[in-house]
């Protein structure tokens, strides 16, 4: 029952051992290892294992740690692939992967830590505090600069591309042979996407997608390898430029958020693993807690740079990541956000020629909505709610389609070459579909007074342009702005309808490709298109009443669609308010987002009844499909019947206060143990005496620990009291959950009334319970 699969690669553990030995040698060289041989004692570690007792829950019987291999009976029979697929790929959403380690957001209160903290007096604390602000300013500036770089490069390269294609189309429209233009366009796009996809697939796969799910996981306390590396940043930035220029239905906003986080992690740690450089600065901040705080600031700065929404950035960071709200931290996050927007606006104001003018309207992301000309009245509120319902339904459909697509990709398209080919295919198809739609469109609009960037005349009369081309023949971000602000009558309903339909499927197909790309802007674009269509219809119905402005409805549609897909409310409302520089629309936008969320959640539940409790949005779905042990905000509602004794894993490998280093190295290198925390206990003869157990972490990513145990073994015994809550065996799951969530724990030692260690609860033990159809259900744990 408690067997564990030892198929896990020894790679990371091997690395650790090398590191530890190196550290040990270095310590010895520096003369700090003097206490080390004296304190070793002779008892083997096997004796230290506490005898575990059979545990029976009073209400609910759940076995111990059910580690399962990927057996065939777990697979959906219809979806069973004809050939065996590699075991490292998760394929079932009822699995929880054991490969992810947790971050420890609770400072381990061992003696070293306490001594260091006690050395800090008031003045030193000020210096530390000052450094925090300086780091936040640097995060803001760098994130702003990266955003500028992406913006400017995309604008120029995409401009060049559209110019070349436009000239070509103009040439061939006259003399026939537009298929050459199509070929040129599709080839150009595919070439950009080929490069963009190849660097992601072959160099750094974690740079794929928007990066928001990964950052959510990081802030939640799950360590995703390489997610905040410099290499990832470089690939992410190049990748997103190539994807957008390659004409895919993607946005550059998600990647900016990821970029901000990488920058934050890099600066705050004062070193780079990718460059193998340690700058020996900010060493105080080299702990999970501090790193997380800076990464939240980086994510906020990213949002702030992406949408020009500093407050939205702070709220995004808090809504998606933080659990313990601290005023000082929030102020720093806000500062980083503001600096980031400021840097971006400053550079762009120079670039756009409105030098120095930071309030220029060109800096508003989605264009300024002017309330004087676009009022809304109370009568429109039911209409907005109806739009929210539509957005919720469309969002749920989008997510469901993307779910099937992702499952397909996980099973069949897992080789890098295939992934690159798929991305190229999507790029080519996107260009082709767009071309065909433009070609067959008969929606001609007068050129005069229009703001379209690359007007394609095609078969329109002189002085007119093809309106379908205005939507397709542009970067998605600019298309959103046109849909929001172009005067009524710029688009035919037919054009908008076709565009919505096609773009919906294209965006859905694109999200999840092995390219660096976000889903915000495509969602907004789909929503803006059908929202505008909605507005035009209303305008017909009401006889072109003054209030039925298509731009306003495009905005509401965009909010509804995005809300239906990602299911965020507070931060999204504020982001939309800031990106349109309009406070008055806050209330309708909130209504729309709230409705979209509620409807989307209901829809999923109805549609997938018996399958799943449902993900809350596209990001959560992808987190779940990766089998990440993600802790949500609250424990499942019906989990009060479970106690810690029932969820914990046993047996626990324990260490004694004094232990041979060889034994420790053995234990640490034995990957068959299910957890990375080893309670430290005291023994009187063979029985464990009722003493306070501390816990030792397997030092997966911090360097503090090996240093500690080489100096003095006693120092390794963290007196982490709250990790050993004695009567916790009777505590209910929600209570344990709250402890983990509020304190950011990594593991919790469970002891009985006599203070004997009986088990260990980790994040995975908590994340595996969720609400299913028939009440609480358990996920399987697997070494995938």
What residues from 378 to 397 belong to the interface with its own copies (CB under 8 A)?
A: 378-379
As measured in angstroms, the least distance from the Cβ of 621 to its own copies is: 17
Residue 677: phi, psi to the nearest 5? -120, 135
What the block records as the tokens of 363 is 């800096």
Segment 620 to 639, residues that bind its own copies, using CB under 8 A: 633-634, 637-638
**Rounded to a whole number, what is the distance in angstroms from the first to the last CA of the chain?**
19
- Verify binding: residue 738, its own copies, rule CB under 8 A: yes
Structure tokens at 242: 């190539």
Place of tokens 């709230």: 594
Stretch that binds its own copies, among 83-91, 148-156, 423-431, 718-726 (CB under 8 A): 718-726
**721 binds its own copies per the rule CB under 8 A:** yes
What is the DSSP code string of 686-730? TEEPS---EEEE--SS-SHHHHHHHH-GGGGSB--GGGEEGGGGG
Give min distance, CB of 46 to its own copies, in A.
Answer: 25
Contacts of residue 183, Cβ cutoff 8 Å, sequence gap at least 6: none
Tell the smallest beta-carbon distance from residue 102 to its own copies (Å): 18
With contacts defined by CB under 8 A, name the span among 42-50, 435-443, 455-463, 716-724 that binds its own copies: 716-724
What distance in Å separates the CA atoms of residue 579 and residue 365, rounded to the nearest whole number? 5
Binders of its own copies in range 23-42 (CB under 8 A): none
Strand pairing category for 277-278 and 747-751: unpaired
Can residue 583 be called a binding residue for its own copies (CB under 8 A)? Answer: yes
Candidate segments 138-146, 188-196, 526-534, 724-732, binder of its own copies by CB under 8 A: 724-732
Q: Does 73 help bind its own copies (rule: CB under 8 A)?
A: no
Hey, which residues does 209 pair with through a beta bridge? 516
Binding of residue 574 to its own copies (CB under 8 A)? yes
Q: Nearer Cβ to its own copies, position 196 or 677?
A: 677
* Structure token digits, residue 778: 């358990």
For the bound state, the minimum distance from the C-beta of residue 120 to its own copies, rounded and expressed in Å, comes to 7
The residues in 200-259 that bind its own copies, with binding defined as CB under 8 A, are none
Q: Is 745 in the site for its own copies (CB under 8 A)?
A: no
272 counts as binding its own copies under rule CB under 8 A? no
Burial of 501 from C-beta contacts in 10 A (0-12 / 13-18 / 19+): middle
Select the span of 63-71, 263-271, 410-418, 741-749 touching its own copies (CB under 8 A): 741-749
Per CB under 8 A, does 735 bind its own copies?
yes
Phi and psi torsions of 279, nearest 5° = -85, 0
Q: Out of 208, 257, 533, 724, name the contact with its own copies by CB under 8 A.
A: 724
The dihedrals phi and psi of 35, each to the nearest 5 degrees, come to -80, -10
Smallest Cα–Cα separation from 476: which of 536, 521, 432? 521
Residue 223: strand, helix, or coil? strand
Which listed residue (158, 264, 300, 338) binds its own copies by CB under 8 A? 338
Cα atoms in the 13 Å half-sphere on the side-chain side of 390: 19
What Cα–Cα distance (Å) separates residue 402 from each residue in 397, 499, 500?
8, 19, 17
Residues 161-200 that bind its own copies (CB under 8 A): none
Where in 754-783 is the site for its own copies (CB under 8 A)? Answer: 754-755, 771, 775
**Which range binds its own copies by CB under 8 A, 2-10, 309-317, 387-395, 695-703?**
309-317
Min CB(389)–its own copies separation in Å = 17
Nearer to its own copies, 187 or 638 (CB): 638
**Radius of gyration of the chain from its Cα atoms, rounded to whole angstroms:** 28
Of the pair 213, 706, the CB lying nearest its own copies is at 213
Q: Which is nearer to its own copies, 31 or 685 (CB)?
A: 685
Residue 235 · residue 199 · CB < 8 Å? yes
Q: Torsion angle of alpha carbons 456, 460, 461, 462, nearest 10°?
A: 10
Q: Which residue in the set 578, 646, 659, 697 belongs to the binding site for its own copies (CB under 8 A)?
A: 578
Q: Judged by CB under 8 A, how many residues of this single chain contact its own copies?
A: 97
Q: Which residues from 83-142 bind its own copies, rule CB under 8 A?
A: 107, 109, 114, 117-118, 120-122, 125
Q: Cβ closer to its own copies: 69 or 605? A: 605
- Residue 522 CA to residue 531 CA, distance in Å, equals 14
Query: For its own copies, which residue of 2, 9, 179, 371 counts as binding (CB under 8 A)?
Result: 371
Residue 732 interacts with its own copies (CB under 8 A)?
Answer: yes
Separation of alpha carbons 320 and 218, rounded Å: 10
Specify the residue, 27 or 720, whose C-beta has the smaller distance to its own copies: 720
User: In Å, how far from its chain's centre is CA 282?
Assistant: 26
Q: Does 505 bind its own copies (CB under 8 A)?
A: no
> In angstroms, what is the minimal distance from the CB of 775 to its own copies?
7
Nearer to its own copies, 51 or 638 (CB): 638
**Residue 334 is a binding residue for its own copies (CB under 8 A):** yes
> Binding its own copies by CB under 8 A: which of 502, 725, 781, 782?
725
Residue of 241, 299, 318, 427 that binds its own copies (CB under 8 A)? 318
**351 three-class SS:** helix
Q: Considering only residues 678 through 707, tell me which ones interact with its own copies, judged by CB under 8 A.
A: 690-692, 694
Tell me whether the omega of the peptide bond preceding residue 196 falls within 30 degrees of 0, making it cis.
no
The residue count of the chain comes to: 784
Contact 90, 625 (CB under 8 A): yes
**Token pair listed for 347:** 């550079």
State which residue, 56 or 356, has the beta carbon closest to its own copies: 356
Which residue's CB is nearer to its own copies, number 474 or number 573?
573
Q: How far is the CB of 122 from its own copies (least distance, A)?
A: 6
CA 315 to each of CA 195, 381, 576: distance values in angstroms, whole numbers, following the listed order: 35, 25, 12
310, 578 contact by CB (below 8 A): yes
Select from 223, 293, 207 the least CA-distant residue to 256. 207
Residue 42, C-beta contacts closer than 8 angstroms, at least 6 positions apart: 660
Minimum distance from CB of 590 to its own copies (Å)?
A: 5
What is the nearest approach in angstroms of its own copies to the Cβ of residue 754?
Answer: 6
Q: Which helix (H) or strand (E) holds 771?
A: strand 769-772
Does 148 sit near its own copies (CB under 8 A)? no
Contact positions with its own copies (CB under 8 A) in 585-604: 585-587, 590-591, 594
Question: In Å, how far from its chain's centre is CA 289?
Answer: 18
Which residues within the stretch 48-67 sit at the binding site for its own copies (CB under 8 A)?
59
Residue 56 vs 378, nearer CB to its own copies: 378
Residue closer to its own copies, measured from CB, 334 or 705: 334
What H or E segment, with its residue span, contains residue 217? helix 212-220
Q: Distance between CA atoms of 584 and 743, rounded to whole angstroms?
A: 38
Q: Return the range that interacts with its own copies (CB under 8 A); candidates 262-270, 307-315, 454-462, 673-681.
A: 307-315
Given candidates 97, 259, 341, 467, which one binds its own copies under the rule CB under 8 A? Answer: 341
- Within 636-655, the residues that bind its own copies by CB under 8 A are 637-638, 640-641
Minimum distance from CB of 30 to its own copies (Å)? 26
């Amino acid at each position: 029952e408690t067997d564990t699969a030892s198929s896990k690669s020894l790679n990371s553990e091997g690395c650790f051992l090398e590191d530890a030995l190196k550290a040990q040698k270095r310590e010895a060289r520096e003369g700090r290892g003097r206490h080390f041989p004296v304190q070793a004692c002779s008892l083997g570690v096997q004796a230290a294992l506490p005898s575990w007792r059979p545990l029976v829950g009073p209400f609910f019987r759940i076995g111990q740690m059910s580690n399962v291999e990927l057996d065939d009976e777990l697979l959906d029979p219809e979806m069973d692939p004809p050939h065996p697929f590699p075991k490292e790929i998760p394929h079932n959403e009822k699995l929880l992967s054991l490969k992810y380690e947790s971050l420890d957001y609770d400072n381990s209160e061992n003696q070293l830590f306490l001594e260091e903290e006690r050395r800090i007096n008031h003045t030193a604390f000020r210096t530390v505090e000052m450094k925090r602000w300086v780091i936040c300013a640097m995060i803001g500036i760098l994130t702003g600069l990266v955003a500028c770089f992406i913006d400017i490069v995309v604008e120029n390269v995409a401009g060049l591309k559209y110019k070349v294609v436009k000239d070509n189309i103009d040439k061939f429209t006259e003399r026939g042979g537009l298929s050459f233009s199509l070929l040129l366009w599709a080839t150009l796009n595919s070439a950009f996407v080929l490069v963009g996809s190849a660097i992601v697939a072959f160099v750094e796969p974690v740079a794929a997608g928007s990066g928001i799910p990964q950052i959510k996981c990081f802030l939640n306390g799950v360590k995703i390898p390489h997610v905040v590396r410099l290499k990832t940043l470089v690939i992410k930035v190049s990748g997103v430029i190539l994807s957008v220029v390659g004409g895919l239905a993607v946005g550059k906003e998600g990647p900016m958020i990821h970029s901000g986080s990488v920058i934050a992690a890099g600066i705050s740690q004062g070193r780079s693993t990718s460059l193998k450089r340690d700058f020996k600065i900010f060493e105080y901040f080299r702990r999970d807690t501090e790193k997380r705080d800076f990464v939240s600031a980086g994510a906020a700065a990213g949002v702030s740079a992406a949408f020009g929404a500093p407050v939205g950035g702070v709220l995004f960071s808090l809504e998606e990541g933080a659990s313990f709200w601290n005023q000082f931290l929030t102020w720093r996050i806000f500062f980083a956000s503001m600096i980031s927007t400021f840097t971006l606006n400053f550079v762009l104001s120079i670039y756009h020629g409105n030098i120095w003018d930071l309030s220029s309207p060109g800096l508003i992301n989605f264009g300024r909505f002017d309330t004087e000309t676009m009022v809304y009245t109370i009568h429109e509120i039911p209409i907005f709610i109806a739009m929210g319902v539509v957005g919720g339904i469309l969002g749920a459909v989008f997510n469901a389609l993307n779910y099937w697509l992702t499952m397909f990709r996980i099973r069949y398209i897992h080789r890098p070459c295939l992934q690159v080919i798929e991305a190229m295919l999507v790029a080519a198809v996107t260009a082709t579909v767009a071309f065909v739609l433009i070609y067959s469109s008969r929606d001609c609009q007068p050129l005069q007074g229009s703001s379209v960037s690359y007007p394609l005349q095609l078969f329109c009369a002189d002085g007119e342009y093809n309106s379908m081309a205005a939507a397709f023949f542009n970067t998605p971000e600019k298309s959103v702005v046109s849909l929001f602000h172009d005067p009524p009558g710029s688009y035919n309903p037919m054009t908008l309808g076709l565009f919505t339909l096609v773009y919906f499927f294209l965006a859905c197909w694109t999200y999840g490709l092995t390219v660096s790309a976000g889903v915000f802007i495509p969602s907004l674009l789909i929503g803006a298109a059908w929202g505008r269509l909605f507005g035009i219809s209303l305008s017909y119905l009401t006889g072109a009443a003054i209030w039925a402005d298509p731009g306003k409805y495009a905005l509401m549609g965009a909010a509804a669609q995005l809300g239906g897909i990602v299911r965020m409310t507070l931060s999204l409302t504020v982001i939309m308010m800031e990106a349109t520089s309009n406070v008055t629309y806050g209330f309708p936008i909130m209504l729309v987002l709230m409705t979209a969320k509620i409807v989307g959640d209901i829809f999923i539940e109805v549609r997938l009844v018996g399958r799943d409790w449902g993900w809350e949005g596209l990001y959560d779905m992808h987190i779940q499909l990766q089998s990440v042990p993600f802790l949500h905000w609250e424990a499942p509602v019906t989990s009060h019947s479970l106690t810690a004794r029932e969820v914990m894993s046993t047996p626990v490998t324990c260490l004694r206060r004094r232990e041979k280093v060889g034994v420790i190295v053995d234990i640490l290198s034995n990957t068959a143990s299910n957890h990375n925390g080893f309670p430290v206990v005291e023994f009187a003869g063979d029985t464990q005496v009722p003493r306070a157990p501390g816990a030792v972490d397997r030092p997966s990513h911090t360097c503090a620990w090996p240093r500690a145990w080489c100096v003095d073994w006693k120092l390794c015994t963290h007196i982490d009291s709250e990790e050993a809550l004695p009567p916790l065996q009777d505590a209910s799951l929600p209570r344990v959950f709250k402890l983990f969530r509020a304190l950011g724990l990594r593991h919790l030692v469970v002891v009985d009334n006599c203070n004997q260690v009986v088990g260990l609860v980790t994040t995975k033990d908590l994340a595996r319970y969720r609400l299913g159809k028939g009440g609480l259900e358990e996920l399987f744990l697997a070494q995938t």
